[in-house]
Structures are given as C-alpha cells and as structure tokens.
Chain A
Amino acid sequence: GNSVTQMEGPVTLSEEAFLTINCTYTATGYPSLFWYVQYPGEGLQLLLKATKADDKGSNKGFEATYRKETTSFHLEKGSVQVSDSAVYFCALSSPNAGNMLTFGGGTRLMVKP
C-alpha cells in the first residue's frame, strides 16, 4: 500500500535559518504530493502541491520538488519566521487508493526569535 515517511521532530530553528523537512513516499503509479500545515488549534491548510514528476510546488516562500527517482518531496524555506511555527504534514493521493490522502506522521517546527 501507499505510505509516507517524514522526519520526526521537533525541529527547532532560529529566525532566518534555512529549513529542510525530509519526506519520502512509497506508492504505485503516479501519486500527487502535498505539504499541509497545521497551526495550533486549527485544521490543516494546503501549503503546496505537485502533481507530476519534476514539478515544483511553492507558496509563502516554501518550496518542494517532486523527485520520482528518489521518491522524495522535501520541504524547504530559505529564511524561516516565528510565524512559521506549526506542524507540517507530507501527504500523497493516488488513483489506486481512490485519491484519498495518505499522511506522514507530521513534523513540528519551532522557530525562536
């Protein structure tokens, strides 16, 4: 079946530091890949997506590239802010699973001023 593995947290960074959160996946066929963000006490918000190999998703300074050869979709941001503190989830949807989402375990990011 499909699965998503992402680095465990928490990840603690100082403001303006570079962020990488690793995500790898296992899926048959051609899944779509997503990063969702969850701020404290809230639901999940779609941060960015990529629907085919070599696509780069980007939003709010975050980027991730769909790498089929390494089955990866790592999240990066060049300069984090305190307001980026949240839990980040990597996820995929695949036609062979009814296009339902399969999530990684989530990575908590804490940014200190």
Chain B
Amino acid sequence: NAGVTQTPKFQVLKTGQSMTLQCAQDMNHEYMSWYRQDPGMGLRLIHYSVGAGITDQGEVPNGYNVSRSTTEDFPLRLLSAAPSQTSVYFCASSDRGNYGYTFGSGTRLTVV
C-alpha cells in the first residue's frame, strides 16, 4: 500500500510565488490534515478536513488554503510565499483520529 503520498519532496520558491503541495491517501480515511514542522516547535496544525467537502483552520492557517473535493486528495496551496513559510510540511490521514494518524514523508520548502 502506498499510504500517504506527498509531492514534491523538495521545493524552492521565490517570495511572492504561489504553489500547491499535493497529498493523496489510498486508505479511504475520512480525516486528513496538514502540519508544518519548525525547529524547536514540534508540529503545528495548519488546516484539516473530516471528510470530502469539509475543511477547517488549525493553529497556523494564515497564508495557506485547502480544499477537499475527494476523499483521497487534500492539496495545500500557498497563495503568496513568504520566507516565514520555509518549513517542512507533513500531510497525515486517519480513519477517525482517535486511533492514530498515518503521515506522509514530507515536503521540504524553502522560500528565498
């Protein structure tokens, strides 16, 4: 099984550019979420979804947009990249959340 697939693995953007980080899961999970990982700060929730057509904001949503048109896909859009968005981004999915999440391998984003 592929599990949770994130693309790309690495990306360099210039300030002001936009891009979409892709996330797909093949486990028919209802819950999907995006986190960013910064040194010394653990992982912080950006946006999440509890099913197709339903999204909500997490702890640090500013500058990011999401949509969930299918159960499988949960893309994260950076509208106008800023150096503060340099981070490692993880997508995760779960059946209901209370039994654990499966994580993708991450996207390392650098904004210059």
Q: Which A residues fall within an 8 A CB radius of B?
A: 32, 34, 36, 42-46, 49, 51, 89, 93, 95, 98-106
> For window 49-78 of chain B, which residues contact chain A by CB distance below 8 Å?
50, 56, 58
Interface size class of B (residues with CB under 8 A): 20 to 34
Bound CA span A60–B56, Å = 35
Main secondary structure, interface of A, reads strand
Given A43-B106, A89-B43, A106-B42, check contact A101 B101 (CB 8 Å). yes
Is B42 in contact with A49, judged by CB distance below 8 angstroms? no
Is A98 in contact with B48, judged by CB distance below 8 angstroms? yes
Task: Among A95, A101, A105, find the residue whose CB has the most chain B CB atoms closer than 10 A.
Answer: A101
List of A residues within 8 angstroms of B33 by Cβ:
100-101
List of B residues within 8 angstroms of A36 by Cβ:
103
Given A89-B42, A93-B97, check contact A101 B102 (CB 8 Å). no
